[in-house]
């Protein structure tokens, strides 16, 4: 009893009071690209990118492919690209995930009246990893820990797809998980939707076109929400979900 | 053989080449004489398969030998005499198609290049009897966790055997490693097992630096070791949180979880990622250490060192925790040795094996770190090993920061790789030794990249540990080993 109280005293209050405004110090999050002229024929950033996330003239970075490795920022002779501690990013469609030269604000997840009505007060999520490296899984687990505590919004993980409204996918989708992902989806009652979390799930990321990958499921069932990162910070996930549901 | 920090390197031409029969006899002789197997890897070379064995002697030295066989002819298995080889021979057969005559159980490790239906039709072991029943779980489990399938053969509540069925996470890592420039593989390497990003990155970097003849200074090695120790602390805390949750001790689960947040946020201050991604690059490190960051890191370490003993006391004294963990999932020293277990699972079963000691890491020779070893082999021992290792890592990091407050070492450029070399690197991740083998061809191109997560060897340890336990104790046994699915499946 006494030991337990000592733990309680050392613990204090850990919950982040305002998840909408929190900024994780030091985090390599949403990048910005300054509108400065590039040197003629310079393609250093594009060449350094391990996931072909960059297009040139004007420079544009696809966060659906980006693994936030900072390689583009390091090689840019004009230091145009800068990754900032901003965790808020995400989109309703893949096209929303592009960061363009000179854009300070990127497109945020748009609230949906239908999602808000159906899931705004209670959202049950079933997570399935299909080739995920466990980093996304650890960060998704973290959204329910004492710091992020997403249950305060009526959002939580459930054990069975039969209890779930959202199928949260991580990993590039492996051929060896193809059947299992389909079974999980088929077991979910309607209305239901898919969330793609991390560069792997959104675009295949580093494993786009790899030998063991089969993305057939996502071609037939399109995600309703894209959460970029490698892995996404828990705040990225929480903010994207809250935006979609139109909460606070 | 030259020992350069964490990597050993040998010229391919200098590797003793034996005919399959004598090679096999020689290997078994060395294994009987107290050497241990580090890895056994195979590579298709035109119509032959080159098989390379790496053994380690008790004096830390590595011994490499090679044979070349026609795949349809193959060689006679060694698993029956030396069970620790089972996973390597299974993998060898799966990846190269080499015949391994008489092998008792050539079950695929990861079902590479097959349809999922092949996984479903696999013949599992059966136990006959009127009251015997089977419980199959997975591949999708009831949590935010990776997929794998477990089939328990039970008599009543008691598990007689567990067959572990993996491969669902197989995405083709090793093949992809050959498709890219070998100098810029770190982002990919960091996703082999996301919770072991730093250990895998370090193994890759040191193997590559050896091949490129790139010499690092001691401070760079220390900086890498700081990142590795932070990763070890964070994942051991995650493991303890999981174990506490699995026995319903929620105060432990939340408190260890909250302390893990402090550990990974410290990592984020250093390198921008809570998982240490981007911290290590071939030729150096990418860490930022302005004075305010260093101050915050010190404060975080002090917080961890102050608050950990409080929850440790509470966790270790709780009757419910002791009751559930003591004598649960026991793996004897003999079993652990027979299976060739590595890492925390081996040390919790009384085997002193820690790559931080076995290889002369520059960093750990400057400031030594003592491995924790316990003889009991149960879940209780695997929990206490974690606690001891966290304490050791935190005090190690504090000492290093005090002695060497500056470890910003931007990467040197990596030149051409030396031709016809084999580099083997070992790094002690939180689960155990991570092994990377890179072989170059005649023009310095990478012809083989073999990745080995400790999970490959330790999964069988879990299967044996649950025998004789109740099926309801499986989650706690599983968490106590804390093995990687993606690291195994590649």
Q: Is A14 on the interface with B (CB under 8 A)?
A: yes
Q: Which two tokens stand for residue B369?
A: 């770190």
Cβ neighbours of A28 (radius 10 Å): 24
Q: Is A197 on the interface with B (CB under 8 A)?
A: no
Minimal Cβ distance to B255: which of A7, A68, A177 = A7
* CB burial of residue A27 (10 Å; 0-12, 13-18, 19+): buried
The interface residues of chain A toward chain B in range 92-121, judged by CB-CB distance below 8 A, are none
ipTM: 0.95
CA triple A185-B476-B239, angle to 5 deg: 85
Q: Which two tokens stand for residue B331?
A: 């793996």
Give the span between the Cα atoms of B86 and B77, in whole angstroms: 9
Mark yes or no for CB contact B116/A14 under 8 Å.
Answer: no
Mark yes or no for CB contact B485/A134 under 8 Å.
Answer: yes
Give the span between the Cα atoms of B448 and B41, in whole angstroms: 10
Q: Is B171 on the interface with A (CB under 8 A)?
A: yes
Task: Name the residue of chain B whose CA is nearest to A27's CA.
Answer: B272
The interface residues of chain B toward chain A in range 257-286, judged by CB-CB distance below 8 A, are 257-258, 261, 265, 268-270, 272-275, 277-278, 286
In the sheet where A60-62 sits, what is the strand order? A54-55, A60-62, A98-100
Q: Is A213 on the interface with B (CB under 8 A)?
A: yes
Task: Name the residue of chain B whose CA is nearest to A160's CA.
Answer: B142
The alpha-carbon gap from B74 to the nearest alpha carbon of chain A, in Å, equals 26
Give the span between the Cα atoms of B363 and B350, in whole angstroms: 25
The residue among A69, A73, A166, A233 with the most chain B CBs within 10 A of its CB, best to mutate, is: A69
Distance set, CA B253 to CA A6, A9, B286, B460 (Å):
16, 16, 33, 27
pTM of the predicted protein model: 0.96
Backbone angles phi, psi at B60, to 5 degrees: 80, -15
pLDDT values of chain B reduced to their tens digit, one per residue, 490 residues: 333 456 788 988 889 999 999 999 999 999 999 899 999 999 998 899 999 999 999 888 899 999 999 999 999 999 999 999 999 999 999 999 999 999 999 999 999 877 667 788 888 888 888 889 999 998 998 889 999 999 999 998 899 999 999 999 999 999 999 999 999 999 999 999 999 999 999 999 999 999 999 888 888 888 999 999 999 999 999 999 999 999 999 999 999 999 999 999 999 999 999 999 999 999 999 998 888 888 999 999 999 999 999 999 999 999 999 999 999 999 999 999 999 999 999 999 999 999 887 656 578 888 888 889 999 999 999 999 999 999 999 999 999 988 887 778 888 889 899 999 999 999 999 999 999 999 999 999 999 999 999 999 999 999 999 999 999 999 999 999 999 999 999 9
CA triple B24-B27-B28, angle to 5 deg: 85
Say if CB B99 and CB B71 are below 8 A apart: yes
Mark yes or no for CB contact A230/B191 under 8 Å.
Answer: yes
CA triple B244-B250-B255, angle to 5 deg: 80
Q: Which residue has the tokens 């620790």?
A: B84
Distance set, CA A137 to CA A134, A170, B173 (Å):
5, 7, 19
Give the span between the Cα atoms of B203 and A112, in whole angstroms: 46
The alpha-carbon gap from A86 to the nearest alpha carbon of chain B, in Å, equals 11
DSSP H stretches of helix in B247-288: 250-271
Q: Is B420 on the interface with A (CB under 8 A)?
A: no
DSSP letter for each residue of A199-228: HHHHH-GGGTT-TTB--HHHHHS--SEEE-
Give the span between the Cα atoms of B89 and B78, in whole angstroms: 8
Mark yes or no for CB contact A176/B270 under 8 Å.
Answer: no
Distance set, CA A232 to CA A218, B55, B460 (Å):
19, 40, 32
Q: Which two tokens stand for residue B107?
A: 């079950």
Q: Which two tokens stand for residue B164?
A: 């572990």
> Helices B250-271 and B218-246, interaxial angle, to 10°?
160
The residue among A176, A200, A203, A209 with the most chain B CBs within 10 A of its CB, best to mutate, is: A176
Minimal Cβ distance to B258: which of A147, A176, A212 = A147
Cis peptide leading into A191, omega within 30 of 0?
yes
Please list every residue in chain B whose beta carbon sits closer than 8 Å to the beta carbon of residue A183.
140
Distance set, CA A7 to CA A140, B245, B248, B261, B322 (Å):
25, 16, 17, 16, 18
Distance of alpha carbon B433 from its chain centroid, rounded? Answer: 5
Distance of alpha carbon B358 from its chain centroid, rounded? Answer: 15
Please list every residue in chain B whose beta carbon sits closer than 8 Å to the beta carbon of residue A128.
140, 147
The residue among B95, B193, B194 with the most chain A CBs within 10 A of its CB, best to mutate, is: B194
């Amino acid at each position: 009893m006494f030991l337990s109280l000592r733990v309680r005293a050392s613990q204090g209050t850990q919950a982040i009071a305002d998840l909408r405004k929190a900024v994780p110090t030091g985090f390599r999050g949403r990048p910005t690209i300054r509108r400065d002229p590039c040197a003629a024929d310079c393609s250093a950033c594009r060449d350094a990118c391990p996931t072909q996330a960059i297009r040139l003239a004007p420079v544009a970075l696809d966060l659906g492919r980006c693994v936030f490795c900072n390689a583009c920022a390091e090689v840019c002779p004009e230091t145009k690209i800068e990754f900032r501690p901003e965790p808020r990013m995400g989109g309703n469609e893949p096209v929303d995930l592009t960061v363009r030269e000179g854009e300070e604000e990127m497109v945020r997840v748009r609230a949906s009246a239908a999602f808000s009505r159906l899931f705004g007060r209670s959202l049950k999520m079933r997570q399935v990893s299909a080739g995920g490296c466990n980093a996304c899984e650890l960060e998704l687990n973290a959204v329910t820990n004492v710091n992020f505590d997403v249950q305060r919004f009526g959002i939580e993980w459930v054990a069975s797809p039969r209890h779930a409204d959202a199928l949260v996918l991580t990993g590039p989708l492996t051929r060896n998980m193809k059947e299992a992902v389909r079974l999980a989806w088929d077991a979910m009652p309607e209305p239901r939707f898919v969330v793609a979390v991390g560069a792997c799930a959104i675009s295949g990321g580093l494993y786009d076109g790899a030998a063991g990958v089969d993305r057939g499921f996502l071609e037939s069932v399109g995600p309703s929400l894209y959460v970029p990162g490698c892995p996404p910070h828990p705040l990225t996930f929480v903010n994207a979900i809250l935006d979609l549901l139109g909460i606070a | 053989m030259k020992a350069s920090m964490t990597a050993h390197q040998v010229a391919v031409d200098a590797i003793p080449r034996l005919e399959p029969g004598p090679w096999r006899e020689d290997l078994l002789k060395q294994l009987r004489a107290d050497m241990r197997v580090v890895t056994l890897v195979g590579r298709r070379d035109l119509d032959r398969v080159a098989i390379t064995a790496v053994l380690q002697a008790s004096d830390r030295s590595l011994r490499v030998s090679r044979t070349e066989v026609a795949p349809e002819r193959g060689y006679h298995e060694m698993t029956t005499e030396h069970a620790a080889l089972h996973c390597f021979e299974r993998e060898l057969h799966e990846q190269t198609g080499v015949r391994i005559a008489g092998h008792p159980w050539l079950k695929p490790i990861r079902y590479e290049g097959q349809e999922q239906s092949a996984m479903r039709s696999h013949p599992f072991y059966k136990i006959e009897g009127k009251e015997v029943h089977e419980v199959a779980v997975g591949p999708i489990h009831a949590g935010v966790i990776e997929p794998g399938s477990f089939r328990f053969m039970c008599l009543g509540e008691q598990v007689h055997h567990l067959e572990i069925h993996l491969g669902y996470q197989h995405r083709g890592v090793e093949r992809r490693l050959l498709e890219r420039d070998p100098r810029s593989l770190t982002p990919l390497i960091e996703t082999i097992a996301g919770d072991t990003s730093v250990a895998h990155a370090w193994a890759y970097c040191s193997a590559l630096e050896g091949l490129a003849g790139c010499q690092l200074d001691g401070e760079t090695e220390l900086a890498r070791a700081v990142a590795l120790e932070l990763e070890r602390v964070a994942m051991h805390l995650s493991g303890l949180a999981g174990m506490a949750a699995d026995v319903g001790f929620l105060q432990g689960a939340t408190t260890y979880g909250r302390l893990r947040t402090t550990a990974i946020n410290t990592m984020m201050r250093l390198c921008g990622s809570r998982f240490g991604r981007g911290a290590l690059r071939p030729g150096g490190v990418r860490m930022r250490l302005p004075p305010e960051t260093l101050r915050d890191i010190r404060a975080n370490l002090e917080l961890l060192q102050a608050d950990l003993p409080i929850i440790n006391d509470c966790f270790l004294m709780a009757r419910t925790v002791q009751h559930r963990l003591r004598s649960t999932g026991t793996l004897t020293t003999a079993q652990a040795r027979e299976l060739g277990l590595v890492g925390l699972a081996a040390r919790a079963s009384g085997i002193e094996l820690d790559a931080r000691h076995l290889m002369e890491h520059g960093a750990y020779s400057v400031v030594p770190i003592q491995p924790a070893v316990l003889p009991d082999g149960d879940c209780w021992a695997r929990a206490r090993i974690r606690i001891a290792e966290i304490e050791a890592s935190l005090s190690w990091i504090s000492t290093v920061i005090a002695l060497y407050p500056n470890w910003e070492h931007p990467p040197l450029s990596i030149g051409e790789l030396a031709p016809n070399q084999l580099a083997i690197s070992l790094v002690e991740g939180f689960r155990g030794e991570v092994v990377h083998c890179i072989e170059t061809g005649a023009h310095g191109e990478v012809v083989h990249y073999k990745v080995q997560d400790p999970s490959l060897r330790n999964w069988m340890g879990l299967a044996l540990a649950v025998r004789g336990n109740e099926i309801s104790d499986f989650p706690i046994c599983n968490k106590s080993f804390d093995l990687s699915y993606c690291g195994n499946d590649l």
